[in-house]
Structure 1
Amino acid sequence: MTESVSDSSDSGPDAGAASGTDSAAGTDTADAPDTATSGAAAPAAAAEGEPVVVCFDMDGVLVDSEDYWHPAQREEIFPAVLDGAHPDLDEVTGMNYREMYAYLDGEYATAVSESEFVAVYDEAAETIYGEEVSLLAGAREFVADLRAGGVPVALVSSSPPTWIGTVTERFDLSFDLVRSADEFDGPGKPDPGIYEAAVAGLGGVAERAVVVEDSEHGVRAGAAAGAYTIAYRDDHNADTDLSAADEIADSPEDLFEAVRQATRTLRDSRSGTSGSSG
């Protein structure tokens, strides 16, 4: 099921080479795949003349990496890199790992240097992305359908380019644009800058953009960027505050339906028709 979230007042770190091209693809003149209507509140009407664009987070959305990162952090990584108390996972989930080190170094007692911290994460990432993670059921086909329907799609992740490249190559994923917070010249999520840059890179504007996220930092970034923000709820984030999102989906099918409906509503707002007519 999908769930509307009315309290979005809490709007406040996932880029490298993509399998696809690094430019916006076409326009939104073709229909996105048809679905039944969503019960969520419709995105606001948007500026004319810009394509509808979609930005996906990677970890916890397209791949189930948080199912592996969370226990690894609790049981292995934090005990190895921190000397004392450990953070709640929601404090750091969605952060770029270099920004995570700065946060942990400021708020907790780090026991290693930044380079040692990065090496620990890179070593864990080789196994997590190269062997363990699974692709969200139907995600490859869904992204391909959006792009074939004239909707440019970006992958916007706090993960570094090498991790992203492992995922896109292993699962044969193609995007019109890939952006990593590790290469972004500015603060990562929850700051909206990386989403603002990704939307602009696709040739879009925030009022005609959809962001798909799963972390508190991520939904805050999408909402603060001005995009219609859809949160994906699963076991790994069952207790995470996702109230900054416009809508929450708790299955792949509901997530895809919510994205399709949002893109249709944003597209149809330009022609003055109702997005719920599909």
Structure 2
Amino acid sequence: MTDPAVPGEAARPAAVLWDMDGTLVDTEPYWIDTEFEIAERHGGTWSRAHALNLVGNDLLESGRYIREHMGIDLPPEHIVEELLDGVVARVEQEVPWRPGAVEMLAALTAAGTPCGLVTMSYERFVAPILSQLPPETFRVIVTGDKVEFGKPHPEPYLTAAAALGVAPADCLAIEDSNTGAKSAESAGCLVLVVENHVPVLATQRRIFRDSLVDLDVGEVWAEQG
């Protein structure tokens, strides 16, 4: 962990690990709209409450939930592909960045702080978003189709930290959901929570902010007990 006693050097995380949906980009409305389209296309029923229950979840687990609660007789894997078709088409038209996210990424890059992306979205959805950022913005990218256990399991964050060669305890994770925050916290990360579409429970290892705009990572890091 960075030594706060080093003269002239503020304590900072060794790496910052970013969630994507709802944190880096506000794509949750894309997912929700697509879910309602699937329900209409296949004669199912859906609600916003059900949609919000899926925020932050592993996609295949979401496919199982949709199959059960939407009442459509499709394999979860097929449901996931239909979801991805809908959201990829939308994000290729417009990437809805969260306020302050791109600026914060640029500041971290300039400071030499490595960033990793830890998302339960699949690679084909992530690619058009990352294409809008400078190359190597994220040194490590962990997607939902590359891990055995998705969030809230700690594997995604453990995988990202290991790939960066840093201890999870030296990482700051940025999340917007209970599912994601639990994953990061269970891995050992300090979690910066910026709530978006769903409320997030407070715990000892979660620090809350209203926005990423003009946010100083060093100040957040210094708050941990």
TM-score (norm 2): 0.81
1:213 and 2:195 matched: no
1:100 matched residue in structure 2: 62
1:12 matched residue in structure 2: none
3-state SS, counterpart of residue 158 of structure 1? coil
CA apart distance, 1:128: 2.2
Instruction: Determine if contact 1:96/1:160 at 8 Å carries over to the other structure.
Output: no
- Between the aligned partners of 1:72 and 1:122, the Cα distance in structure 2 is 9
Instruction: Determine if contact 1:155/1:177 at 8 Å carries over to the other structure.
Output: yes
CA apart distance, 1:263: 4.0
1:77 matched residue in structure 2: 38
1:253 matched residue in structure 2: 213
1:180 and 2:143 matched: yes
CA apart distance, 1:265: 6.5
Q: Which has the higher contact order (CA 8 A, sep 6+)?
A: 1
Instruction: Note the alpha carbon deviations across 1:23-73, whole angstroms, 9 max, x for none.
Output: xxxx969x9xx99xxxxxxxxx99xxxx71110001111111113322432
Instruction: Determine if contact 1:82/1:111 at 8 Å carries over to the other structure.
Output: no
CA apart distance, 1:108: 6.3
3-state SS, counterpart of residue 167 of structure 1? helix
Instruction: Determine if contact 1:28/1:150 at 8 Å carries over to the other structure.
Output: no
Instruction: Determine if contact 2:14/2:171 at 8 Å carries over to the other structure.
Output: yes
My pick for the range that moved more, 139-148 or 197-206, is 139-148
Instruction: Determine if contact 2:116/2:139 at 8 Å carries over to the other structure.
Output: yes
Structure 1 residues 100 and 81: alpha-carbon distance in aligned structure 2, compared to 1, 3 A threshold: farther
CA apart distance, 1:150: 2.8
1:127 and 2:89 matched: yes
1:149-168 matched pairs, under 5 angstroms: 149-168=111-130
Instruction: Determine if contact 2:46/2:69 at 8 Å carries over to the other structure.
Output: no
Instruction: Determine if contact 1:232/1:248 at 8 Å carries over to the other structure.
Output: yes
1:90 matched residue in structure 2: 52
3-state SS, counterpart of residue 253 of structure 1? coil
Structure 1 residues 91 and 63: alpha-carbon distance in aligned structure 2, compared to 1, 3 A threshold: same
Task: Please provide the CA RMSD for this pair.
Answer: 3.2
Instruction: Determine if contact 1:199/1:205 at 8 Å carries over to the other structure.
Output: yes
Instruction: Determine if contact 1:59/1:157 at 8 Å carries over to the other structure.
Output: yes
Give the counterpart letter for 1:77 in structure 2.
I
Structure 1 residues 95 and 145: alpha-carbon distance in aligned structure 2, compared to 1, 3 A threshold: same
Instruction: Determine if contact 2:34/2:87 at 8 Å carries over to the other structure.
Output: no
1:112 and 2:74 matched: yes
Which ranges of structure 2 fall in alignment gaps of 5 or more residues? none
1:34-45 matched pairs, under 5 angstroms: none
Which ranges of structure 1 fall in alignment gaps of 5 or more residues? 1-26, 36-44, 270-278
Structure 1 residues 112 and 64: alpha-carbon distance in aligned structure 2, compared to 1, 3 A threshold: same
Instruction: Determine if contact 1:65/1:128 at 8 Å carries over to the other structure.
Output: no
Instruction: Note the alpha carbon deviations across 1:105-149, whole angstroms, 9 max, x for none.
Output: 466643222343133112212222111332224423321321332
The count of aligned residue pairs is: 218
3-state SS, counterpart of residue 145 of structure 2? coil
1:62 and 2:24 matched: yes
Instruction: Note the alpha carbon deviations across 1:228-256, whole angstroms, 9 max, x for none.
Output: 1111123x23xx233346112112226x3
CA apart distance, 1:197: 1.2
1:262 matched residue in structure 2: 220
Structure 1 residues 52 and 81: alpha-carbon distance in aligned structure 2, compared to 1, 3 A threshold: farther
Instruction: Determine if contact 2:100/2:211 at 8 Å carries over to the other structure.
Output: no
Structure 1 residues 123 and 178: alpha-carbon distance in aligned structure 2, compared to 1, 3 A threshold: same
